[in-house]
Amino acid sequence: MTLFRLDASIRKVESHSRQMADIVEREWREAHPDEPIISRDIGTEPLPATAWAAAVTAGSAPEESRSPEQRDAVALAAALTDELVAADSLLLAVPLYNFGVSQHFKTWVDLIATDDRMQPHVEPVVAGKPTVLATVHGGYYAAGTPREGWDHATAWYRRILADVWKLDLRVIETEFTLVGVNPNLSQFEDMAARMRAEAEDLARSYGRTLAA
């Protein structure tokens, strides 16, 4: 049994999405002490910004007439897809940034979408794989809060992972991670601690699901 783990946080330390994914991974590891984890860190080792356009334009060019850059991009998209194919379950740690998606995660998705095995109108090669997405918000965006509607990332993450790629998706949303960092939010400390504990419980539970 193999786990694939993706990290999109640009921080190594004090990254809440990495901390949540660590909890999920620990549960998986406990059940599978000797089995492989494939790791891809697009937050600290980003995919090149030029690769996607090269992969798209390569799609319409016969293989022998492709440029070296196009060949590299097609090979990169295939390698990223291979990592998903090789895994039995997926763990994706992807924050919200500037009220939107992680640029690096969008690049990763765009690239994989160019692979032959992930085209529309065919069943995605990754369909059905048990997947946990751990996403993190500095603020609090739930219904009824002043920032309701300002999380423009999670719905797109779900759209691609569940609706387009047809993964068997579970989502852990950790909210209000700026409490304790931003002094203006100190009145929310109890609430944030309670939500954090709930998210951690969910992470343990989902970790056992991935391991099953």
15: contact with its own copies by CB under 8 A: no
* Least distance (Å) between residue 49 CB and its own copies: 4
- Compare residues 12 and 194 and give the one whose CB is closer to its own copies: 12
- Compare residues 98 and 187 and give the one whose CB is closer to its own copies: 98
Structure tokens, 152: 């423009």
Nearest to 92 by CA among 136, 141, 145, 30: 136
Q: What share of the chain is helix, strand, coil (3-state, %, to 5)?
A: 45, 15, 40
CA torsion through residues 187, 151, 110, 158, sign = positive
Residue 205 burial by Cβ neighbours in a 10 Å radius (0-12, 13-18, 19+): middle
37: contact with its own copies by CB under 8 A: no
* Least distance (Å) between residue 30 CB and its own copies: 32
Positions 68 through 97 that interact with its own copies (CB under 8 A) = 97
Count of beta carbons in the 10 Å neighbourhood of residue 14: 10
* Least distance (Å) between residue 196 CB and its own copies: 23
- Compare residues 36 and 48 and give the one whose CB is closer to its own copies: 48
Residue 19 to residue 5: CA distance in whole angstroms: 13
Structure tokens, 115: 């692979």
Query: Total binding residues for its own copies by CB under 8 A?
Result: 31
Q: In Å, how far from its chain's centre is CA 70?
A: 25
52: contact with its own copies by CB under 8 A: yes
Positions 138 through 167 that interact with its own copies (CB under 8 A) = 150, 152, 155-156, 159-160, 164
Where does this chain bind its own copies (CB under 8 A)? 10, 43-44, 46-50, 52-53, 56-57, 97-101, 103-104, 106-107, 109-110, 113, 150, 152, 155-156, 159-160, 164
